[in-house]
Amino acid sequence: MPEPLRRFRPPAHRSLLTPITAVLALLCVAILAACSGPPTDGEIEAVAQELRDRAQKEHGALELVRSLTYEVGPRLAGSPGDAAGVAWAARTLKELGFENVRAERVAVPHWVRGEEWGAIVAPFPQPLHLTALGGSVGTPDGGLEAEVVGAASLDALAALPEEAVRGKIVFVHQRMERKREGAGYGAAVPVRYATANLAAKKGAVGALIRSVGTGPHRFPHTGSMRYDEDVPRIPIAALAHPDADALEHQLARGQEVRVRYFLGAHYLDDSISANVIGEIPGSEIPEEIVLLGAHLDSWDLGTGAIDDGVGCAIVLEAARLAGALRPRRTLRVVLFANEEFGLSGARTYAEAHAGELDRHILAFESDLGADRVWRFAARVDPNAVERLEPVANLLAPLGIEWQGNTGRGGPDLSPLRQARVPMADLTQSASTYFDYHHTADDTVDKIDPEALSQNVAAYATLAYYAAQVEEGFGRAEAVEEGEGRRR
C-alpha cells in the first residue's frame, strides 16, 4: 500500500530549537566537556557513539525525501521544478533550525525534453521505449527514419568504415556491468558521451544506445551528453534494455532494419538556479567548516528520489542530528544546483567560496542512493589519515570498512579537489542503484528505510567527529593528471 500523500511538517521535536530529552542529555555531556577544557578523544568518541546509535532509530530523512519528491517532484535545471526545489530547500533548512540559510545564484543551461517516440519500422515493426540523452538536439518534425547499423561497443563503432555508417542511424549496444562499487557505470558511461560525436564524424544521421544502466524494465536511462565543437549535431536517444535487445536481435537476422524516432528536445535560454546553503555555526571555531553536500537537481523522468533527493535528506538529517550537539566547528549543508547537466553548482560554489576553501576542514557528499554504506575512505593529508581511525572504528559496527586514504570525493566536490580540500567518502552499495537512476522509475518507494537510517547514522557520526576533533586533516594531495575527469 502506498502511504497517503501529505504535506511535510517537521514534528516539533525535530526542530533544533526544541531538542528532545536525549539531545539535551547529550548536549550536557558536550557542554560539560567544553567547560573543562577541550574535549578529549575519549569524550568525543563517547558522544559520537551515542549519536550513531540514536541516529539509526530516526526516520526524519525518509520524511524529508518524501516531502521533496511528492511535493516538488522532478527538478531538472532551469525547469519550474528546479525553482520549486530551491524554495523547498530554503524553507526546509529554516524549519529544521539551520542558520545563515541562503540561495546562492547559479547560472544553469535549460534543456527541455519535449515529446519523444520511436519504432522499428522494418523488418518486424514494433514500438521502442526510448528517451533523449540530456543535451541532444531534436529530430526533424515527423521524426527521423533511416537504416540502422549496429556496433557492440564504442571500439566496434570506431572500427566501422565510413561507407557502413553514412546516412544511417548508429546503434551502440554495449552493456553495463552490475557491481557493488558502481564501477560498471564509469566503464559504460563513455558510450553516452562519445557515440553521437563518433557516429556523426562518420556521416551518421542519428544515434541510439543501449541505456547506460542495469535495470531490466522498459524504462530508458537518460543522462548528459555533449557535442564536440567540430562535428554535426545528430539526435541521440537511449533504448530501454528490452527494446535494445529487440533491435539487436532484429539486426542479427541479417535483414535491413529501419527505425523511425522523434525527439522534441531543444534548448531554451539559460536560466538561474541556486546552491541552497544552511549552517549550524560552530560553538568554538565557527570559521572552520565541515561541508556535507548533495545535489538538489534531478533528471526529469522520475522524481529524483534516489538521485539525489535522498542524498539531500541524508545530509540534512545528519547535520541536524550532529548539529544539535553544537560541535566546535560549523556544519555547512550545501544542496548543489545542476549536478546532472554540467556541475554548474559545484563550480559556482568553488569560485564563490575560493577565499575560504583553506578553512574547509573536511567535505563529503551523498550521491549514490541510499543502500547501506559499506566503505569509508579519506582523501586527506597522508600525515593526517590516522586522525580518522577513531571514526573508522565508530563506523565499523555499521558494517563499514575503512579503506584509508583511497577516497576521491563525489562529483560535486570535484572542483574542491583541485583546491586540495580534505574529503571523505561514505560509499553506498551501488548494486541496484543503476536499475533506477536517471529513469522514470527513480521514485521514493525504492528507498529502504532501514538502510537510509544506517546512512544517516554514518554521515552524522562523521560530521560530528570532524566538527569536534581537536586537529583537522591538513590538505589533500594535489590532483593527478587525468583524475579530474567525470566519473
Nearer to Zn ion, 249 or 486 (CB): 486
User: Going edge to edge, which strands form the sheet with 206-210?
Assistant: 126-128, 116-122, 258-263, 144-151, 169-172, 206-210, 236-239, 130-132
Pairing of strands 116-122, 258-263: antiparallel
Does 412 contact Zn ion by CB under 5 A? no
Nearer to Zn ion, 116 or 307 (CB): 307
Please report where in the chains the cell 570532524 appears, as a residue.
Answer: 466
Does 288 contact Zn ion by CB under 5 A? no
What is the smallest separation between the CB atom of 305 and Zn ion, expressed in angstroms? Answer: 11
Beta-strand ranges (E) seen in 281-328 are: 285-295
Nearer to Zn ion, 295 or 329 (CB): 295
Stretch that binds Zn ion, among 17-25, 63-71, 302-310, 452-460 (CB under 5 A): 302-310
Does 307 contact Zn ion by CB under 5 A? yes
Interatomic CA distance for residues 2 and 22, integer angstroms: 32
Interatomic CA distance for residues 95 and 11, integer angstroms: 10
Nearer to Zn ion, 190 or 281 (CB): 190
What is the smallest separation between the CB atom of 307 and Zn ion, expressed in angstroms? Answer: 4
Interatomic CA distance for residues 103 and 207, integer angstroms: 39
What is the smallest separation between the CB atom of 140 and Zn ion, expressed in angstroms? Answer: 33
Beta-strand ranges (E) seen in 328-482 are: 329-336, 360-365, 373-379, 401-402, 423-428
Beta-strand ranges (E) seen in 340-465 are: 360-365, 373-379, 401-402, 423-428
Q: Are 69 and 305 contacting, i.e. CB atoms less than 8 angstroms apart?
A: yes
Number of neighbours of residue 42 by Cβ within 10 angstroms: 10
Does 45 contact Zn ion by CB under 5 A? no
Stretch that binds Zn ion, among 120-128, 220-228, 303-311, 457-465 (CB under 5 A): 303-311
Nearer to Zn ion, 307 or 371 (CB): 307
Stretch that binds Zn ion, among 308-316, 320-328, 373-381, 448-456 (CB under 5 A): 308-316
Catalytic site residue 339?
yes
Does 365 contact Zn ion by CB under 5 A? no
Nearer to Zn ion, 106 or 165 (CB): 106
What is the smallest separation between the CB atom of 57 and Zn ion, expressed in angstroms? Answer: 27
Question: 274 by DSSP, 3-state: which?
Answer: strand
Per rule CB under 5 A, count of chain residues that contact Zn ion: 3
Pairing of strands 126-128, 329-336: unpaired
Interatomic CA distance for residues 174 and 190, integer angstroms: 10
Does 367 contact Zn ion by CB under 5 A? yes
Nearer to Zn ion, 176 or 325 (CB): 176
Pairing of strands 373-379, 423-428: antiparallel
Interatomic CA distance for residues 417 and 365, integer angstroms: 13
* Local structure of residue 205 (DSSP, 8 states): S
Of 421, 158, 411, the C-alpha closest to 307 is 411
Stretch that binds Zn ion, among 32-40, 162-170, 301-309, 471-479 (CB under 5 A): 301-309
Question: 308 by DSSP, 3-state: which?
Answer: helix
Stretch that binds Zn ion, among 144-152, 166-174, 214-222, 366-374 (CB under 5 A): 366-374
**Peptide bond before 442: cis, by omega within 30 degrees of 0?**
no
* Catalytic, out of 45, 339, 340, 365: 339
Name residues whose C-beta falls within 8 Å of residue 137's C-beta, 6 or more positions apart in sequence.
233, 234, 235, 263, 265, 266
Please report where in the chains the cell 571523505 appears, as a residue.
Answer: 424
Cα-trace Rg, the chain = 24
Q: Would the CA dihedral through 84, 86, 90, 95 be positive or negative?
A: positive
Does 308 contact Zn ion by CB under 5 A? yes
| Cα→Cα distances 361→73, 351, 469, 472, Å | 33, 18, 11, 6
Stretch that binds Zn ion, among 219-227, 322-330, 360-368, 475-483 (CB under 5 A): 360-368
Nearer to Zn ion, 61 or 263 (CB): 61
Interatomic CA distance for residues 26 and 159, integer angstroms: 64
Nearer to Zn ion, 292 or 388 (CB): 292
Q: What residues act catalytically?
A: 339
**Can you give the binding site for Zn ion, defined by CB under 5 A?**
307-308, 367
